[in-house]
Structure 1
């Protein structure tokens, strides 16, 4: 009788989905749903799986993949953070964390993930450009410039590092140094839209509108669909007192995107009778 009662308890537990075999079956079924693209169905299994196996690597990675399929990067980040906290040597977790954090502009988490990837690959310098970029995105200009300097020690002509360094210098008010670096890049890489536009912005910030005008004119001539170039040209022309020229430059922006940096309001202020 005692054995019979124990057997009944096992049957009840299995029916309730509490047995290890049943859990494994649920994992396998959820994995198959993910493979078939049935992410909503797979997501329905997660609460029970996480309740019973909250630290299991397979379950946590399954959660990442389910929410990747559902285009829920915030949830992917949450699962990937749990995964990497428990499995610090698993580089796949950091790669997922980096990608998902990038989708929601979580630069701090991206920086953590890419730093760990570099550490695990024993090749941190390979990721210096991205580490520098993320520091700049977070407003940590000093750290970003320090990383750029490290890149340039090994590769003095690195265009990407010099470009980021120039922007970092401009961000902390060192415009002359920024212009010197960016001008040299312009000589060595003529006709690059980002370089031309940045030089225009640097000179405009210095209120050297005549110099800024030349760079924005060149940028819009070479790249007529580049809206930041037209917007910068409008700002410079307006600063020089050329309202007609400014209106035309802003109209070029408006024709491509009516919501770009409040261009509709600017045009109304310049030509209220037409907007």
Structure 2
């Protein structure tokens, strides 16, 4: 903003603050709701009239109905999403490298197919996938969710990493091979370190996509053996049939959001570096 006047800078600052407040208000509202009592939920005020931790103790204390749903679901989400992210990034790295570096027929078709898969409505394939998984024994298992999660994370990972690999000078790889390195050694020791910011950024994006999935989680599981957090929240119940578990759901949403916030805060420089490098055409 070096060429902007003082009024223009002030205007952009005001716009940025308004957008930030607009974006964070729902998050702050959920946070405040998680500290409200059941009676306080009916009060029309932003801050809790009476602060309490009962919603957090309800979903974290062993033996409670909410805790029996939430704790196993949190463990399932962490494990399934980490495995799905790792597999997606490894496969996408190899596929994106081949697309960016090798000249073969059908390369554009592969990229377009990956893009088509990423925008394909998930709900339309849940029913046949449900029937298939029940037949072959993958229903309500970690593997039964990891495989569909790859359909969400792999296409965007291939597209993102292909853009990064195109920015890496081909001459560096050729120089490594001239010095005696095999193609795989040149790829591992020259290309991968340079593409590390892109790989890291892609992994975070893929993890977030898998972490937020609800349709697969609710449709392909039936017990706490593999049910992830977004699906588990749908099974929360109140103390009676007339009581909505709003506070418990808000507390669970806050806890689920904490790992995402921590990852972004710890690795925000890598994320920004990866996104900007992928956007600059070298």
Q: What's the TM-score bracket when you normalise by the shorter of the two chains?
A: under 0.3
Q: Taking structure 1 as the reference length, what is the TM-score of the superposition?
A: 0.22
Query: Which structure has the highest helix share of the two?
Result: 1
Q: Taking structure 2 as the reference length, what is the TM-score of the superposition?
A: 0.22
Larger radius of gyration: 1
